[in-house]
């Protein structure tokens, strides 16, 4: 299995420190608002990476943090007249609602910055003692000039970084690239005790502290969005390797940028979408499928037209699965004939192709193409006369591979009974006879939201619960 390492800018053979365990850290959200679809791409992609590693037999220790104290949280809490803790807890709760909806598995640990202040203070104290950090007026800064490899992740030298970085002028710093480890308290801000006075941690330090606390001094994989390469991940490397004197992470993974209608997502441009907004219009798994239909390192463009296309693709896969489930109820138990044995061999080839795609830097785009080929082959070759054993074999494989992508594995809870379903189907059929396509589509969508899939066949309408 190979993955692209941002650090080396090459695809490398994946060799974790332990051949049975993968220690993986993903930078989580700053919890002052609902997560947006750019956040969602990262969380969906790395959840899929985790799922595939588990499929390959690894135990994955997966840590994703919550940044629950920073300038944005403080500002938003003041605007809402609540404490920073109350605001953060609210949006952590909302994050889990969105993440669960998207099929993103809970991390092994979800640490919070404010619950690790003591660890952060100890970490900073050692950096000061080692000569890598300095104190000015209660603020503590990391001295980047002392770390000779600074810039190795972004592949830029110090001069390039100074020219390209947007860094506020701060006369306290020895160098414009020096970054804050501890911020002295300002009036009205929450603060904690430290040897340098009351204050709070800087953003970069929390990830170094929490990742190494739960995963060890050297991680297997550290992952996040492309905007985190510099300065966040660059600074994590500097402070962590300065403290421990060894490699911080073997592999660095970063997703491509997400644009909206070919423009950068921005609230000021009115093209900003939260996950909550999109999943009110589309099934959450449609958004997940959309995010995985491109290779994770490629930039992707988001639009409602493209989501409609993803929705159509999702329904094709869903209908294939519903058809397989229907065949299970009508096919008879018998031994496979020669033609069915050849079909089994074909599906074993599909499984191999799926794994080869995922082994090649988690190429979900090609893996999804394999699912469509499986669906097509099943639709062409299976009927009510097929062996139940063959149908079950194909359905089990389809579901197992789909689950790696986080699709079709959840049971949708529904509060609709069979009588109501049949009544709505009859109403839809009447609308179709009257050529009232709008109403017919609305009924179909309503049933889908309830977890009911309709399939129009020459024999009439078939329906299945997801």
Residue ranges for the known binding site for ATP are 267
List binding-site positions for Zn(2+).
27, 207, 232, 236
Rounded Cα distance between 411 and 443, Å, is 21
CB 287 within 8 A of CB 39: no
Candidates 170, 202, 171, 176; CA nearest to 71 is 202
CB 79 within 8 A of CB 262: no
Strand pairing partners for 460? 457
Q: What is the DSSP letter of 420?
A: H
Q: What token pair was written down for 25?
A: 């850290």
Q: How far is CA 276 from CA 91, 94, 281, 289, 465, in A?
A: 12, 9, 9, 16, 24
List binding-site positions.
27, 207, 232, 236, 267
CB 5 within 8 A of CB 12: yes
Question: To which H or E segment does residue 41 belong?
Answer: helix 37-55
CB 103 within 8 A of CB 43: no
Rounded Cα distance between 61 and 111, Å, is 13
**β-pairing, 21-26 with 59-64?**
parallel
Integer-rounded Cα radius of gyration of the chain: 26
CB 162 within 8 A of CB 177: yes
């Amino acid at each position: 299995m190979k993955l692209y390492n941002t650090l080396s800018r090459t695809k490398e053979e994946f060799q974790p420190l332990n051949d049975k365990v993968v220690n993986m850290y993903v930078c989580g959200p700053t919890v002052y608002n609902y997560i947006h679809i750019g956040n969602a791409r990262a969380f969906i992609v790395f959840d899929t990476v985790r799922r595939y590693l588990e499929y390959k037999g690894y135990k994955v220790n997966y840590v994703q943090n919550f940044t629950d104290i920073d300038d944005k949280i403080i500002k938003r809490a003041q605007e809402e007249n609540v404490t920073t803790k109350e605001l953060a807890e609210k949006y952590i709760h909302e994050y889990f609602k969105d993440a669960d909806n998207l099929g993103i598995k809970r991390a092994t640990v979800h640490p919070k910055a404010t619950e690790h202040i003591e660890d952060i203070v100890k970490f900073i104290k050692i950096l000061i003692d080692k000569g890598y950090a300095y104190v000015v007026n209660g603020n503590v800064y990391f001295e980047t000039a002392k770390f000779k490899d600074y810039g190795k992740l972004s592949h830029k030298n110090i001069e390039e970084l100074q020219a390209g970085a947007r860094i506020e002028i701060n006369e306290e710093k020895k160098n414009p690239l020096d970054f804050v480890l501890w911020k002295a308290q300002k009036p009205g801000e929450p603060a904690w005790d430290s040897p340098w006075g009351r204050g709070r941690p800087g953003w970069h330090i929390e990830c170094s502290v929490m990742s190494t606390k739960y995963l060890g001094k050297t991680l297997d994989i550290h992952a996040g969005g492309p905007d985190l390469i510099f300065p966040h991940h660059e600074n994590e490397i500097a402070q962590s390797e300065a403290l421990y004197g060894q490699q911080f992470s073997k592999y660095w993974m970063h997703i491509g940028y997400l644009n909206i209608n070919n423009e950068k997502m921005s609230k000021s441009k009115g093209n900003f979408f939260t996950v909550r907004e999109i999943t009110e219009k589309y099934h959450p798994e449609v958004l997940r499928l959309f995010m995985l239909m491109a290779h994770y390192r490629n930039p992707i463009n988001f639009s409602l037209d493209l989501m409609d296309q993803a929705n159509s693709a999702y329904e094709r896969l869903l209908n294939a699965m519903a058809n397989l489930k229907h065949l299970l109820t009508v096919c008879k138990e018998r031994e496979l004939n020669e033609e069915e044995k050849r079909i089994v061999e074909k599906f074993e080839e599909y499984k191999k192709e799926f794994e080869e795609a995922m082994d090649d830097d988690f190429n979900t785009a090609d893996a999804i193409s394999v699912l469509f080929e499986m669906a097509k082959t099943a639709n062409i070759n299976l009927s009510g006369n097929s062996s139940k054993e063959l149908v079950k074999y194909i359905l089990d494989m389809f579901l197992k591979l789909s689950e790696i992508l986080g699709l079709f594995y959840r049971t949708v809870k529904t509060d609709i009974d069979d009588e109501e379903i049949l009544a709505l189907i009859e109403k839809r059929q009447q609308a179709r006879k009257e050529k009232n396509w709008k109403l017919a589509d609305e009924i179909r969508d309503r049933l889908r939201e309830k977890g009911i899939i309709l399939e129009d066949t020459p024999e009439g309408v078939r329906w299945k619960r997801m």
